[in-house]
Amino acid sequence: MSLGLARARVGTLAFACSVITAAPLAAQGWNYPSFNQPQIMSREFNFGLADGGDHGTSLVFQWREGLGIRTEMKFDVGFADPDAGDAFFTAGGALSQRLAVATADMPLDLVLTAGLYGAFGDFNLFRVPVGLSVGHRFPLEGAMAVTPYVHPRVSLDFCSDCPGDDDSDISINFDLGADLELSRQLSLRFAALFAGGDLFGDDDGFGISIAWRPVALTPR
């Protein structure tokens, strides 16, 4: 790896970390983690459950599909049951692009993410997040492995008929999580969500999920 490339990748990571401290925090399509560890998948189906304080309980299904060895698309669909008001339907999609694979010189996997998400109920909420998933995969015994990661996202948020005077905001979503591979086909994910925003409350959250990858389709 050239010195210039190494400096560029370290600079990218430093920028992502600086963003975390530069703005108030916000959420994904609703108040659930992205479950986006820094790997590109050939195909994966993820089933998640999250709790987000006043935002209530969320159920989400995610489908990740590889478009090549460096790029994937992801689709989310789910429901949220806030403590106040009726349930929300959530949906969205994202693209992920691999920026770096961990090496001895730079031991971090880097994946750039960008998406569009919506929540539809008593009011309609739209978010356009751009982020960087950063982590490292550690092999364990047998086929098991663990990948701790962070996933900060800058988000442009829009709201229709929100309870408040504001209808747009710039905020940040920040996940701290881990992916535990039980096999090359099955993973458990755990993620803490540090979230907030001026459009609809400030609540942190936590989520767990089960990810399944069809036989012969493994992380790229």
**Token pair of 216, please?**
């012969």
Q: Taking every pair of C-alpha atoms in the chain, what is the biggest distance, in angstroms? A: 55
197 sits in the region (left: phi over 0; alpha: psi -120 to 50; else beta) called: left
User: Which distant-in-sequence residues (6+ apart) come within 8 Å of 169 by Cβ?
Assistant: 26, 156, 157, 159, 197, 198, 199
- pLDDT tens for each residue of 68-116: 999 999 999 999 988 777 888 999 999 999 999 999 899 999 999 999 9
Q: What is the mean pLDDT of the chain?
A: 82
pLDDT the model gives residue 163: 66
What is each CA distance from 121 to 29, 80, 88, 91, 156, in whole angstroms? 13, 10, 5, 12, 20
Q: Are 58 and 80 in contact (CB under 8 A)?
A: yes
- The predicted structure's pLDDT at residue 202: 57
pTM of model > 0.85: no
For the stretch 157-186, pLDDT in tens is: 888 877 666 688 888 888 999 999 999 999
User: Rg of the chain's alpha carbons, rounded to an integer?
Assistant: 17
